[in-house]
Amino acid sequence: MTDQLSEQDRAVLAVERASWPGPGAKERAIREDLGISPTRYYQLLNALLDDPRALAHDPVTVNRLRRVREAQRERR
C-alpha cells in the first residue's frame, strides 16, 4: 500500500468536489472523464471515505461526505 492516492482516486474526489449544473451532468462526467459507470464510481467513492489517505488529500470533501453518509444511515 502506498502513501498516496491513485490518479483515479484523486479524480473521483475532484468530481465530488465540483458543482454540477443539472441532472445528469455529474453522471455524464463520470462516464466521459473517468471512463467508469456511476455505480462503480459510487463504490470507489464509498471506499475512499474510509481511507485515511483520502482524508489527508481532501479533508473538506471527505468529511462532508462522511456526514452525508452517516445521516443517510441514521434515516434507515
Instruction: Enumerate the domain spans of the chain.
Output: 7-15+22-75
* Confidence at residue 2, expressed as pLDDT on a 0 to 100 scale: 59
Q: What is the pLDDT of residue 76?
A: 85
All three cell numbers of 69: 453518509
Cα 45 to Cα 30: distance, rounded to the nearest angstrom: 12
With 0.85 as the threshold, say if the pTM is over it: yes
Per-10-residue mean pLDDT of the chain, 76 residues long, equals: 85 95 92 96 97 97 96 91
Q: Which residues of 7-22 are buried (b: 16+ CB within 10 A; e: fewer)?
A: eebebbbeebeeeeee
